[in-house]
Chains A and B, each alone.
Chain A
Amino acid sequence: MKIVYTDSLIIGGGLAGLRVAIAAKQRGYDSIVLSLMPAKRSHSAAAQGGMQASLGASVKGEGDNEDVHFEDTVKGSDWGCDQDVARMFVNTAPKAIRQLAAWGVPWSRVRRGNREVVINGEKVTITEKNEAHGLITARDFGGTKKWRTCYTSDGAGHTMLYCMDNKAIQLGIQVHERKEAIALIHEDGVCYGAIVRDLITGELIAYVAKATTIATGGYGRLYSVTTNAVISEGIGCAIALETGVATLGNMEAVQFHPTAIVPVGILTTEGCRGDGGLLLDKDGYRFMPDYEPGKKELASRDVVSRRMTEHMRKGKGVPSRYGDHLWLDITLLGRKHIERNLREVKEICEYFLGIDPVEEYIPVRPTQHYSMGGVRTGPTGESQTMKGLFSAGEASCWDMHGFNRLGGNSVAETVVAGMIVGEYVADHCAGNPLKIDTKLIGHFMDREDRKISNLLGRDKGENPFELKKEMQQIMMDKVGIFRNETDLAQAVEELKVLHQRSKNIALKHRISSSNPELVEAIRVPKMIRLAQCVAYGAMLRKESRGAHAREDYPERNDRDWLKRTLTTWKSEDDDLPEVSYEELDVMKMEMPPGSRGYGVDNTIHHPNTEKRVAEIEEIEKAHPDADRFELQQLLNPINVPDKFRGKNERIGRGYK
């Protein structure tokens, strides 16, 4: 039995995983990162648009601060997020971006003087201040009051990931590539590491650690059309689910991005609209102002995606052999801007569509994009039900996004959560010496070995590729942008059948080493279980919140549904996950539920909302001299590691 020991095991080599590893390593703990591929190829690299941090250096970001970022994030989440975590996040984001600047990310900078930008379809000249010259600049993004999304051209994710991986290399952190964690080792509610399959030799290896962090990204590939990389299959979440102890949070919260190209579903960044691009219908008509007079194309993603779908349902889509789509027009931005700030988009249009977006419109359609749900953790990033198991980034439901994530808040989460959770991982390593019986390791090793032998030994059975296709189609057709009881109930039943069938997979190519069919056979049953969590959670949630839009329950129902969905999978023999709920306490909210300011406001309010609003007014009255930091401390005291508690400086404002 091959066993590798370490202090901190990180499953997933994207931005979040690498940042956790760096934090633990800098505190003196040995860290090993497992990755399906070289870390620099992780899906973090695909983030184009940028990272939100309230630096407020650009003139269009003036007046921005943590409070405004907090407000935008909570509204974006449709009050589904954990406000403690959102607070920790917004307060730390400026530090995270400044650290990355010191570590080497070539963030685009403010240039003093006049520049021409496109706002609301019009060319406008803005003047950047002299004293801001050379500081990190920002662009506009959906659902934000200020221009807050910091970027490097449209390769923000790429430059951040390269910087982070290089930092990890500098620190000598080992990344074990082409290794897949297929089960967690655990006993009595404590996680001890993972059983890992070497994707080249097929060998099973036990990685045993004091702290195990799941940072495997989202589960977009549960859907047939997604912007996500082919490795975003949610396997990290699935192995947490399969413990029967760890919980997954809000799995039904799945975001569709308004502008992926048709038909292949590759993303064009929100920066296109942030920089002034427009959405047009088959008549070349700009329809978004009719639906969203305030934010127009720059309402939150869930809202824009729904409005686009509504508009296409009215017969205003552009027909094509791949179904209807709409147009994204960035021609008004001009060649110079596109070639400098939207070059990835240009390349994608040239290679995959054969068009030049400087001259032609881009065919787009809302497409699965982000998983708000994931491994449920508390504010420290540790699972609430399994000690020693942590999660960060898209794989987690740390829950700063609630039911809808804002553009630019995802790469921001990876590095901020990585910083914060990484410190708690290090604390855990400090306080918890490893005590494990090798019999326990052997038990899990044997179990996984047996499963693989069974797969390789079966003569006749199901084809894993076909099962996956069927699952993806069910999710796309019945658990999509708009949802209803009939479709969801069907999806739940059909997935149950697939789950049964997935117990009988047989292979054509029966070897245990490097074998893509075996990889698929191991993953597909896990993916189907995750899909069941999404569909079942969606069926039970009888309201609309953020990206979860029920045609039969169109109102956001704070009275009955201001709660987080938790799913567990208790026994291998179960046909469905167990669902329970975690109440969100209105009386503790810094920002009690209200209107988002975009989308339809038809909220059924929670009885405590008015009470909390009154209470906050009282608190404010009682402390007339309190500044915004003191007020936040009164309304929403949070815990972050000491080193991240300082106030953030801004140009022209100092530390206020």
Chain B
Amino acid sequence: MSEQERVLKFHILRYNPQIKGDIPTMKTYEVEEAPGMTIFIALNDIREKQDPSLQFDFICRAGICGSCAMIINGRPDLACRTLTSKFPDGEIKLLPLPGFELIGDLSVNTGKFMRGMSERVESWIHDEHADNVDLDRLEERMDPDVADEIYELERCVECGCCVSACATKRMREGFLTAFGFMRLARYAIDPRDKRSDEEFYEIIGDDEGVFGCMTLLGCQDYCPKDLPHQTQIASLRRRMARVR
């Protein structure tokens, strides 16, 4: 941690679509750096001391909830856990996450999009008995390794970095993108979900699904949770290619 205090320059896209006639502009704010400062701390400092209208989203500020993804010096990442000391020249350019409806400044509407994905891949256990389980009895057993593997794929926080880093999505509006594949893969390995590969094929077996991926793998490069997107997309493709 550098003890040297310096003045950081934040260049931030400002635009409020709620105000008629507002035009997107870049605005620069200077902030005195403090040890251990994150972009979360800096943006709040700007809002409290310089411009109370500045919009952004943070919730957990611990890298857990996925609210604060934005473009930081050209790369999508979680702002809350990005230390300002990472930037040697002290110049930090912040843009809202592309691919999502803009609410204002750095705030985007990820919720609508994410719910749409969950509805599309039917992101829940498909088992007609799931609601009639006798809750007094011992639970269904599960192999401990399988439980760990499911958790491994369920660590996605729906931050949207993969969506913003996906070139296929840029070309195909309806492309499901990596986090959708990850969610589906999570259910596909879960023995509690009784869906067959044929049923999964109905969801992702086309160009809007897993066969549309151009394998540029921006998703893999920018996933803040280091999820194995590449492996999962490849394995889903193999699995789906076997379905007729």
A residues near B (Cβ < 8 Å) are 26, 37-38, 40-43, 45-46, 94-99, 101-104, 106-111, 133-137, 152-153, 155, 158-159, 162, 165-167, 169-170, 175, 177-178, 200-202, 229-231, 263-264, 266-267, 321, 340, 344, 347-348, 351-352, 354, 465, 469, 507-509, 511, 513-517, 520, 644, 646-651, 655
Contacts and interface: CB of A to CB of B under 8 A. Distances in A.
Task: Among B64, B119, B140, find the residue whose CB has the most chain A CB atoms closer than 10 A.
Answer: B64
Given A169-B118, A201-B18, A513-B18, 17 more contacts: A41-B59, A43-B65, A98-B135, A109-B142, A133-B141, A135-B141, A136-B139, A166-B123, A170-B124, A177-B111, A178-B111, A263-B36, A347-B63, A351-B63, A513-B16, A517-B52, A646-B136
A467 to B, nearest CB: 11
B124 A104 contact: yes
B110 interface: yes
A97 B19 CA distance: 48
Given A45-B65, A134-B141, A106 B147 contact: yes
Contact of A40 (B54, B81, B114): B114
B55 A514 contact: yes
Contacts of B125: 102-104
Nearest to B132: A102
Interface string B121-148: 0111101011101111111111110011
27 contacts: A26-B131, A37-B67, A40-B114, A41-B65, A41-B158, A42-B65, A45-B64, A94-B135, A95-B135, A95-B136, A96-B135, A99-B133, A106-B142, A109-B141, A134-B144, A170-B122, A170-B124, A175-B115, A177-B111, A264-B61, A347-B63, A509-B53, A511-B19, A511-B53, A513-B19, A517-B47, A520-B52
The 4 closest A-B pairs by CB, nearest first: A134-B141, A38-B111, A517-B52, A646-B136
A338 to B, nearest CB: 15
A425 B202 CA distance: 38
B142 to A, nearest CB: 5
Contacts of B65: 40-43, 45-46, 229
A106 B62 contact: no
A226 to B, nearest CB: 11
A229 B52 contact: no
B188 interface: no
Contacts of A103: 124-125, 130
Contacts of B64: 45-46, 158, 344
A267 B60 CA distance: 10
Contacts of A37: 57, 59, 67, 111
A41 B103 contact: no
Nearest to B68: A41
B59 A167 contact: no
B197 interface: no
Task: Among B66, B103, B125, find the residue whose CB has the most chain A CB atoms closer than 10 A.
Answer: B125
B63 A348 contact: yes
A521 B149 CA distance: 46
A515 B53 contact: yes
Contacts of B115: 38, 169, 175
Contacts of B239: none
| Interface residues of chain B: helix, strand, loop or mixed (majority) | loop
Nearest to B111: A38
Contact of B52 (A134, A137, A509): A509
Interface in B151-189: 151, 154-155, 157-158
A134 B142 contact: yes
Contacts of B18: 200-202, 511, 513-514
Contacts of A513: 16, 18-19
Given A38-B110, A101-B139, A352-B81, A152 B62 contact: no
Contacts of B131: 26, 102
A106 B150 contact: yes
A469 B49 CA distance: 12
Given A229-B59, A230-B61, A266-B61, A108 B138 contact: no
B192 interface: yes
A148 B193 CA distance: 27
B135 A134 contact: no
Nearest to A111: B144
A170 B47 CA distance: 38
B38 interface: yes
Contacts of B123: 166, 169
B104 A514 contact: yes
B67 A655 contact: no
A61 B137 CA distance: 17
Contacts of B134: 646
B151 A159 contact: yes
Contacts of A169: 115, 118-119, 123-124
A165 B83 CA distance: 31
Nearest to A264: B36
A586 to B, nearest CB: 32
A546 B104 CA distance: 45
Contacts of A263: 36
A201 B129 CA distance: 43
A178 B18 CA distance: 15
Task: Among A104, A111, A507, find the residue whose CB has the most chain B CB atoms closer than 10 A.
Answer: A104
B138 A649 contact: yes
